[in-house]
Amino acid sequence: MATALFQRIIYGMVLILAVIVLNFLLIQAAPGDVVDVLVTEAGGGDPEIAAQIRASYGLDQPVYVQLAKYLGNMLTGDLGYSYYRDESVLELLLSHLPSTLILTLSALLFAIFIGTMLGIYAATRPQGVTNHMVTIFSLLGYATPVFWMGMMLMLVFSLYIPIFPSFGFRSIPAPETMLPRILDILHHLVLPTFTLSILFLAGYSRLSRASMLDVLGADYIRTARSKGLSEFVVIFKHALKNASLPVVTIAGLQLGQIFSGAVIVETLFSLPGIGPLLYDSITNHDYPVMMGVLFGTAVTVVVANILTDLVYRLLDPRIRGIS
């Protein structure tokens, strides 16, 4: 198991290297460079000064030297500098990631939990209404744009029935003591989390229903019943652990998608996460931040994939045994 994990980590590092190279290529492909932006920002167009700045950044050197330098910088944690924000990209990322992680994790857990419950409920009552509901629900989940869903929820729960805030991460001014502070943040997170999770929830409910139906027909479920176990134990012990395997796999594969969704939801709800950071960097042609966000999200997905792999190994002894 340890060697498998080690291999996984090495492979993850290779992926991250590849992302760095891609970043570099994208910057190279971009019409104009940082200096053009800088010079334009400064309001001047003096080609001599521009050339000087280029030389000082090493932009006049051959591409492979630049790539080597870029790789070196990235690997030592120097993700570049935001001229627009006057802050290092690494710091910007680190200050914006936590909010995004809280949002994605809570949305993911909520979606998996409720989705699985719905799926189980539908799978154990094949003739029931829930079955149709899961089908309809998953169709709507597929067909609804996440930002539009967010807007509709805002209209209903912030405007017409104002019970949840539609803007920001905390109240201004924020409560002073610890507990109300946390509750305040949670209160702000309700709508964004719900918006982000509901679409994935629809998918998970369908997936876990299918996987549950599959597992419930398995021979070992018949064995469990023949021991005289109650339906509750049969479903929540014997079936669930097996049925959760495909759900974990898909959740792992969908992490990138959840990040994409989070970018939109954060932008919509003005949360201080990666989404607005990326959005602002795009409007302001702040390439280092743009590339930093692409890099940061890719690294997070790589790490999360390794964690998913670990969870899968914990759940399935058949994989665990092979090392």
Partner 1 sequence: MKNPTLKSENTVLSVENLCVDFEIKGKQVQILSDISFSLERGKTLGIIGESGCGKSMTALALMRMIPSPPGRISAGRVVLKGEDLAQASEKRIRDIRGGEISMIFQEPMTSLNPVFTIGNQIVEAIRRHKDIGKSEAWKEATDLLDIVHIPAPNRRVHEYPHQLSGGMRQRVMIAIALACEPTVLIADEPTTALDVTVQAQIFDLLNEIQKDRGTCIILITHDFGAVAEMADRVLVMYAGHKIEEGTLDEIIDSARHPYTQGLLRSMPEIKVDPGDIRESLAEIPGVVPDLLHLPEGCPFAPRCSFVMAQCQDLPHYMDLGDNRSVKCWLAQEDSRTKEQA
Partner 2 sequence: MSEMIDQQDLAAQFGEKPEKPEKPWQATARMFYTNKAAVFGLIGFLIVILLGLFGPIIFGADPFDIAGKPLMEPQDANPLGTDYLGRDILSGVIYGARPTMIIAITATVCATVIGISIGAIAGFYGGKIDNFLMRFTEFFQVLPSLVFAMVIVAVFEPSFLIVVLAIGTTTWTPLARLARAEFLKIKEREFVLAARALGAQNIRLILRVILPNALPPLIIAITLRVGTTIIFEAALSFLGLTDPSIMTWGRMIGLSRDYFFEAWWTVTFPGLAILFTALFIALIGDGLNDAFNPKLRRR
125 binds, among partner 1, partner 2, none (CB under 5 to 8 A by kind): none
**Does position 293 bind partner 2 by CB under 8 A?**
yes
- 4 touches 320 (CB < 8 A): no
Name residues contacting partner 2, limited to 78-97 (CB under 8 A): none
For 232-238, the CB contacts below 8 A with 24+ separation are: 235/120, 235/124
Q: How far is CA 311 from the centre of its chain?
A: 17
Count of all residues that appear for the chain in the document? 323
Q: Which of 3, 177, 226, 283 binds partner 1 (CB under 8 A)?
A: 226
Angle at 312 between CA 246 and CA 248, to 5 degrees: 35
Contacts of 129 (CB under 8 A, 6+ apart): none
* Selection from 242, 212, 199, 240 nearest residue 108 by Cα: 199
**Does position 26 bind partner 2 by CB under 8 A?**
yes
Structure tokens at 243: 């049925």
Going by their DSSP bridges, the two strands 87-88 and 81-82 should be labelled as antiparallel
Name residues contacting partner 2, limited to 261-290 (CB under 8 A): 261, 263-264, 267-268, 278-279, 282-283, 285, 287, 290
Q: Where do we find the tokens 């570049």?
A: 80
Nearer to partner 1, 233 or 294 (CB): 233
Nearer to partner 1, 31 or 228 (CB): 228
Contacts of 78 (CB under 8 A, 6+ apart): 88, 90
Q: Which of 114, 133, 213, 315 binds partner 2 (CB under 8 A)?
A: 213
Q: Single out the segment in contact with partner 2 by CB under 8 A; choices: 24-32, 90-98, 173-181, 308-316.
A: 24-32
Q: Which of 225, 280, 303, 311 binds partner 1 (CB under 8 A)?
A: 225
**Does position 256 bind partner 2 by CB under 8 A?**
yes
The nearest distance, CB 110 to partner 1, in angstroms, is 25
Residue 87 pairs with which residues in a beta bridge? 82
- What is the sign of the dihedral through the CA atoms of 227, 233, 235 and 241? negative
Size of the site for partner 2 (CB under 8 A): 56
How far, CA to CA in Å, does 175 sit from each of 168, 170, 172, 182? Answer: 14, 9, 8, 9
228 binds, among partner 2, partner 1, none (CB under 5 to 8 A by kind): partner 1
Size of the site for partner 1 (CB under 8 A): 22
Name residues contacting partner 1, limited to 6-35 (CB under 8 A): none
Helix 255-269 with 146-154: angle, nearest 10 deg: 40
**Does position 315 bind partner 1 by CB under 8 A?**
yes
- What is the sign of the dihedral through the CA atoms of 24, 30, 32 and 34? negative
Q: Single out the segment in contact with partner 1 by CB under 8 A; choices: 77-85, 164-172, 197-205, 218-226.
A: 218-226
Contacts of 51 (CB under 8 A, 6+ apart): 60
The nearest distance, CB 306 to partner 2, in angstroms, is 11
Binding stretches for partner 2 (CB under 8 A): 15, 18-19, 22, 26-27, 29-31, 126, 131, 139-140, 142-148, 151-152, 154-155, 159, 210, 213-214, 217, 219, 222, 253, 256-257, 259-261, 263-264, 267-268, 278-279, 282-283, 285, 287, 290-291, 293-294, 297-298, 301-302, 305
Binding footprint of partner 1 on the chain (CB under 8 A):
127, 218-220, 222-230, 233, 238, 241-242, 315-318, 321
